[in-house]
Amino acid sequence: ASRVMVASRNYADFASEATFEVKKCDLHRLEEGPSTTAVMTREEGLHYYKTMQTIRRMELKSDQLYKQKIIRGFCHLYDGQEACCVGLEAAIKPTDHVITAYRAHGFTYARGVPVREILAELTGRKGGCVKGKGGSMHMYTKNFYGGNGIVGAQVPLGAGIALACKYFGKNEVCLTLYGDGAANQGQIFETYNMAALWKLPCIFICENNRYGMGTSVERAAASTDYYKRGDFIPGLRVDGMDVLCVREAAKFAVEHCRAGKGPIVMELQTYRYHGHSMSDPGISYRTREEIQEVRSKSDPITLLKDRMVNNNLASIEELKEIDVAVRKEIEEAAQFATTDPEPPLEELGNHIYFNEPPFEVRGPNQWIRYKSVS
């Protein structure tokens, strides 16, 4: 009871909101850019902190389960880049649309999928968000279209989603994400062209984590100004390690699209702590010291934590309690993901089409038949 009284007394002492200076974005074909000041309420700050901490712990648990050979196949982790998905989600509505590449766990969680369903999907269980059939690279939920395994292929799909938004007269936007490694592909420039011609409400977002697989951006790209790559499309270069900077830039980009001005390109300068995938130790093309320097100077969670504590939006003890609750949630989710049954073989052909009558699907040979149910 005394602890409750202390908590309630301290709560009254906290500021309800604070104003922060954020890094100015580099601009391309824009006279004005996003605001360099950001107002964050205490409630927003606690939500961002818990979300980023949950994604961080979920990815560390995924690393552990992979090394135990409970998660198999491809697995690309998002720790270090949490400010990108959390800042973007803070700027859009649930009715807006998101499509990304295979480093998708953070976006899946930010779009509303519980941790237990994400981890169960990673372990191939029935309780996974796509019933154990998609794994790490193919997660979906309402208005979130994956998780796409083919490098860069999600970019034209994202423009198609934006075209549907415009066609049906919905005041919605599509966030279409890709990495610096995919940014040199021809299909991306073809998509820019169509999106600009048709003034599609599409925000093209390059998550530049400085290394496309094991190759640094300087060795892979003649121009590393990814925000200028749209040429005739306006662009922004954003500090992707600052959740408030990402949020303000995304708000600006969303307003641009909703005003009917067509597409815009965003480059989020970020960093991944893990290797490209679980098969990459991540230190053959960069040093441990480089990773440690980013962790110590630019970590998105630490940056938010310091801002909140220094501006009286939260106490260290309160944030530690969130950390404990997050770890408990992750452990319980991992327990579910390792004990939930695998999907039965007879469900292999299900969900090929949405809202269609059942039909037969041939199995591995002509004598095995499965029934596909929507």
Q: What is the pLDDT of residue 10?
A: 59
State the sign of the Cα–Cα–Cα–Cα dihedral 359, 362, 363, 368: positive
Q: What is the pLDDT of residue 157?
A: 98
- The helix, strand and coil proportions of the chain, stated in percent and rounded to the nearest 5, come to 45, 15, 45
CA end-to-end span of the chain: 52
Fold classification of 17-212+220-278+289-343 (topology level): Rossmann fold (3.40.50)
Which among 160, 11, 173, 16 is positioned nearest to 91, based on CA atoms? 173
CA dihedral 205, 207, 211, 215 (to 10 degrees): -20
Q: For residue 88, give the H/E element and its range.
A: helix 82-91
For the chain, give every domain's residue range.
17-212+220-278+289-343, 345-373
Tracing tokens 């400085």 back to the chain, one arrives at 210
Tokens linked to 341:
């049954």
CB 284 within 8 A of CB 74: no
Q: What is the mean pLDDT of each run of 10 residues along the chain (374 residues)?
A: 48 91 98 98 98 98 98 97 98 98 98 98 97 95 96 98 97 98 97 98 98 96 98 98 98 98 98 97 96 98 98 97 98 98 90 91 86 90
286 alpha-carbon distance from chain centroid: 24
Give the Cα-Cα-Cα angle 37, 41, 47 (nearest 5 degrees).
Answer: 115
pTM of the model: 0.95
Which among 200, 125, 110 is positioned nearest to 160, based on CA atoms? 200
- Say which DSSP state 26 is in: E
HEC states along 252-309? Answer: HHHHHHHCCCCCEEEEEECCCCCCCCCCCCCCCCCCHHHHHHHHHHHCHHHHHHHHHH
All residues at 6 or more sequence positions from 166 whose CB lies less than 8 Å from its CB, including other chains:
198, 199, 200, 201
Tokens linked to 370:
């499965």
Rounded-to-integer distance, Cα 289 and Cα 168, Å: 51
287 alpha-carbon distance from chain centroid: 25
Backbone angles phi, psi at 124, to 5 degrees: 75, 40
Tracing tokens 């697995």 back to the chain, one arrives at 75
Tokens linked to 122:
């990673």
Ranges of H-type helices in 123-216: 154-167, 186-197
